[in-house]
Structure 1
Amino acid sequence: MKEALIPVVRNAFMRPRIVAFIPAHNEEKSIRDCLEGLADQDLPPSIELDIIVIADNCHDRTAEVAMCSGQELHLNVMVIKTENNKQRKVGALNAAWKSLYGDLLDIYDQELSPYQEIYNKSVKAILGMDADSRLAPGALKHLWDGLMSARNIGGVMAKYTMRMPRKMSELSPDDPHYEVKLESGNYGSQITRWWTHQQKQDMTSWLLALQYKGGSTYVLGGQGTLFRPAALHDIVQRNNLDGPWQDDSDVEDMLLTWQLQKAKWKTLISPTARCYVDAMRSYHTFRQQRIKWASGTLDLMTNQELGLRTPHRLKLWRSECRKLLDLTIRIMLITLLTIALVTDQFSWNWLWIIPIAVAVILNLVLALKTPMRRPIDVVMSSTLISSEIYLWANLITFLQVWLDKLSQNRKDGWQNQYSAEQGKTKSRLVEGVILITLLIAAAVGFAIYNRSFFTSTSVKMTVSPFLEIGWILLTYLTILATCIMIHQLWTLRRNYKA
């Protein structure tokens, strides 16, 4: 009976399909929105969509909500539950992979059934998504067209746009669902909305820079990327893995991208597909996320054992040098300006307006190119206040990551980010601001009290040569930074969209 059925099954026709992997850790509040985005997609002709939701170490109703939402939205949803998964997102993604292609670590040699073999051959693309992201209508079709445009394309990523929280003023305290809506994260204060725009504008700058270089990317972000299964199989075989994703790095999506590039697969961003993602709503969660990203990237750039190189390696090192340049300029400016004012040797030079004007124009252009911008964001960009605060937040992260790297202080980036998002750790931002304010006030008071000493001829003659050398060095560094900004403005002249 079995032998008679096999030829029939093997000759059966199965439509080509896209399979979505959605790892979800306690995402009962966001998983339906993610699935609704998939329900809005117009699939390519004769292509079917299957969805695998991985309820990863969940303690809520993620699995139940996913199944119910799939039925209501007429989606083909399957839920996999993981327990005691210590590899977090990597383990969840590999669990979905093994559900299709088998577990290579299984000590029992279990062959796939004829149906599974036919099904696996029908899978032409794998969509990796986060449970709190949502594809814009038509995005999946654009990703598919990009992936199928050439055989050597291993993955195509959507362009990410941070979702702006709704105004808190729209939420009435008399609403019986007030607390539920508040906990949903869909509403935010003015500071939260401003902070979200800064992240969105930062993403705009990154996406435009990648498109200017031809659309090749050094990271296929896990929020919305379409992979070619053959490319993922290639990575598994080349590196003797049990699944395409590895937990050897805090940036598993970047590690996979570099492995694909090493294997001669192209990794691109789609010029038209868009994916909406959540921004970090507070400085504390933002800082932990950026530390994880930055430290993971730095580990990949300096890890000789992995033997990985990316065509974007020079670009990444230039980015690190640019941050060092920005930090050096600001520290030197604060130091020189303070000494000059205290010793009464400060004189204004109108040439200083040039780098300020270039920075204003650059931020204004980026604000205008940012999707779904608000008028207030454009106005704020012209003051440089917003961009300077955001830049300092990134520079502090840059400094901490390098200090941790030099001290070999290994941290669990995923755990730190999870703890921050769940409110298990607290930010010391307020305490830090208060401390800096007190130190500045004390320094000002000390300078005023000893003004006669600091403005004496002997002190001026001692300090003057160092000030002169410092201002000259700062001038050259500022010219270099200005030239970099002018080059960035030149690249923004093209009609690319973020």
Structure 2
Amino acid sequence: MENVVSIPSVQEDRPSLNIHGVKHTYMKPRITAFIPAHNEEKSIRDCLAGLGDQTLPKDVELDVIVIADNCTDRTEEVALAAGEEFNLNLKVLTTVNNKQRKVGALNAAWKSIYGDPLDLYDKKPSVYEEFYKTSVKAVLGMDADSRLAPDALTQLWEGLMSARNIGGVMAKYTMRMPKKKSLISKDDVHYEEMIASGQYGGPITRWWTHQQKQDMASWLLDLQYRGGSTYVLGGQATLFRPEALQDIIEENKLDGPWQDESDVEDMLLTWQIQKRWKTLISPKARCFVDSMRSYHTFRQQRNKWQGGTVELLTNSDIGVKSKHRSKIWRSQIKTFIDLMIRLLFLSLLTVSIATDQFFWSWIWLTPIILASVLNTILALKTPMHRPIDVILAGLLISPEMYMWVNFVTFSHVWLGKLSAHKKDGWAIQYSAERGATRSKLAEGLVGIAAAAGVLVYLAFHYRDFLTSTPVQEAVYPYLDTGWVILTALTIYTSLLMAYQIWTLRGRHTA
């Protein structure tokens, strides 16, 4: 029996443990890692290398289960070789015709330890299986393209074991910054292979990665300021207490903890855990994850995340709510207000200039200064930031561009709620990452530029009419009301920015 040791002594008055010939034995406590991997031959070795780097808690062992999910590449072969290379106690499960993708893969790993409630034959676990199941004190859920920083597993373990009522602890995520593409000579015979690996990128890719890092940093800092409780235990790297996962199965009559009722299966799982357990973010454990390298793949990923979040907030049939529900609604409302402020400002500015009724006020610099200060602080607190990132953040160039991309996603998802057809967020994201679909960014920018050109032409062509007294008098009441509404919204968001700046004075790190 592997990793089973004898107990040195047993008190005479204690009943003798004798189950099917196994006497006076126990199995060391262990962490079991579940790593679903769909065609991840390029990234799985790095993920496992990170686990090989870990210093485990005292007397705790680590087992790794890689789930090769409907793979058509060498994921299984590479994983087994990496397990030997990094001296990991690793096995590979292979799924066949798994229709639930990541959810099905994770549940397959769970059932390999805890059994399948849907098994018609009601198989009895062996003595070894019973001991093993009892020995698993924590389940680590990881993505195959993530890598834990050294000591992260111990830090997650310490967080999980710090109190009996903690059901899950998530690592702090940081997007890997691609190396400079210019570092590779185009004469290098491995140039194409190195570029395809995703480890290198040009200026736009590196800039885009930092925006995602800063967005994640802002979210992590906010969670830590509010006590560390999180409404989503991210699938990239979270340590779960098995009893918390088992509670979900029993309460909801499931065959595994993870469900595919939502495109954000990790958020749904977290909300269910929160019914009885705490869900926290680790203040120390770090996990490095891949960013979305292009606008198109980013949009599809965020469409899935935003769509799943909106579905959880609005679909009463899912039957689960979070104590953070009001916080998530406030975030959605804030995004809507930010969008309305910009659309209203652009509309009022256009009409005011066209009708020669625009008047400048220096007080308008207040929200701009606050936004500049806020984004500069966030850029400085973002791990591995570059000077150019801080400069572009302070000038509000990067934050504004990134925000408009998120506005497109926000609008797309909420308008999609009016559609009768539910889209498969996972399938759309996979297609984008494979390059099976393409972005319409170029067409959109051309359309916006054309519309702006037409408006400028019309404003100059009909300037005498637009600046005439009758037109000005007719338009003025609407302009006046619009500026009042815009002022009120701007004051509200300025107060929120000032509050956020105040919260960032702490020593929390992203």
Query: What is the TM-score of this pair, normalised by structure 2?
Result: 0.95
Correspondence for 2:252 among 239, 262, 267: 239
Distance 1:301 1:223 in 2: 23
Distance 1:212 1:61 in 2: 43
**Unpaired runs of 5+ in structure 1?**
none
- Tell me what 1:90 maps to: 103
Cα distance, 1:439 vs structure 2? 1.3
One-letter amino acid matched to 1:206: W
Establish whether residue 393 from structure 1 lines up as the match of residue 397 from structure 2.
Answer: no
Establish whether residue 209 from structure 1 lines up as the match of residue 222 from structure 2.
Answer: yes
- Tell me what 1:228 maps to: 241
Establish whether residue 458 from structure 1 lines up as the match of residue 501 from structure 2.
Answer: no
Cα distance, 1:10 vs structure 2? 5.1
Q: Deviations over 1:449-480 (max 9, x none)?
A: 11111111111111111111111111111101
- Aligned in 2, Cα 1:10/1:246: closer, same or farther, shift over 3 Å? farther
8 Å CA contact retained: 1:9, 1:115: no
Correspondence for 1:259 among 257, 266, 272: 272
Correspondence for 1:341 among 336, 353, 356: 353
Distance 1:254 1:159 in 2: 16
- Tell me what 2:4 maps to: none
Correspondence for 2:46 among 17, 21, 33: 33
Distance 1:125 1:201 in 2: 30
8 Å CA contact retained: 1:55, 1:81: yes
What's the secondary structure of 2:319's corresponding residue?
A: coil
- Tell me what 2:162 maps to: 149
What's the secondary structure of 1:406's corresponding residue?
A: coil
Cα distance, 1:7 vs structure 2? 4.3
8 Å CA contact retained: 1:43, 1:140: yes
8 Å CA contact retained: 2:261, 2:318: no
Query: What is the TM-score of this pair, normalised by structure 1?
Result: 0.98
Distance 1:363 1:329 in 2: 18
- Tell me what 2:300 maps to: 288
8 Å CA contact retained: 2:18, 2:24: no
Distance 1:189 1:455 in 2: 48
Task: Tell me how many residue pairs correspond in the alignment.
Answer: 494
What's the secondary structure of 2:138's corresponding residue?
A: strand
- Tell me what 1:126 maps to: 139
One-letter amino acid matched to 2:334: R
Correspondence for 1:273 among 260, 282, 285: 285
Cα distance, 1:5 vs structure 2? 9.0
- Tell me what 1:63 maps to: 76
Q: Which runs of 4+ in 1 moved over 3 A?
A: 4-8
Establish whether residue 197 from structure 1 lines up as the match of residue 196 from structure 2.
Answer: no
- Tell me what 1:469 maps to: 481
Correspondence for 2:330 among 309, 318, 332: 318
- Tell me what 1:305 maps to: 317
Identity score, percent: 63
What's the secondary structure of 2:80's corresponding residue?
A: helix
**Unpaired runs of 5+ in structure 2?**
1-16
Correspondence for 2:378 among 359, 363, 366: 366
Q: RMSD of aligned C-alpha atoms?
A: 1.1
Cα distance, 1:6 vs structure 2? 4.5
8 Å CA contact retained: 1:124, 1:228: yes
- Tell me what 2:343 maps to: 331
- Aligned in 2, Cα 1:409/1:488: closer, same or farther, shift over 3 Å? farther
- Tell me what 1:13 maps to: 26
One-letter amino acid matched to 1:358: L
Distance 1:467 1:330 in 2: 15
